[in-house]
A and B are shown apart, each in its own frame.
Chain A
């Protein structure tokens, strides 16, 4: 079981910078969620982690050591798109895995395929997109991997199968497996992940424990008597990540001590001050959306 350390990862494809100066540590045994808009660099990050792509700069280390081919005995990967061989049956894919990895249980694979209602005798080309994803998930979870890297593992699946995948992940997490996954379903990330990182345009914009982020990040909303009221001092407060002004309504995005900040707002003259809890989706949207015209982004802090 190893800790994955990504240091200042940079990957460019010609003129396009997919990932830039990305630093991340994934502690062993954690469930780590990676969220971000399409094209943010999640898949590129996974590819660099697995030596599927060569970083332009930066390093990826497993317990301090670069990835060795032998490590793949205990690393399982579910890519974002189907990589199955169209002309082979699902059963032949199972046989392929059985011969490749020491720790692979064909019985478990068949069990999982049955749960997903996939017939092993079918050729991959006759499977729908969701069923292909489910097949790759089954093949990955039938291995005794200590690190699972899952890129959109529920895409194309119906809600029942999505829940099955989530349960598989939780089962693995209970066994101490390290899981790194990306998903557009923030609800799934909220349930399964302990730590998350938000990626946007190739950079990490926010990282931390889900509970800490939820506990610390709040919106403090207040209404000032008129538009020119000063925010004296608030914009330089370390605990304020962002200020959005919309006429007389001011909203602060706090990273901590929401109560204090609310009190300060009141002392500056705001009324109807309230503290709004943010769920992960809100936190994510704030992290990746540009500030509106009248807003001041004071700093993007990282917990």
Chain B
């Protein structure tokens, strides 16, 4: 990760009216929302489809 993005400097911030959040925190929140949405539609790895769910 450190070789892709410089993690040693000060973080950039998104500031819009009352909203103030660092870009790293914003990235984490966006990733959580994406993973949550995917988890609602995907099956657990290795899970077999139930017989009555076709």
User: Do A and B form a real pair?
Assistant: no
| A interface, CB within 8 angstroms of B | none
| B interface, CB within 8 angstroms of A | none
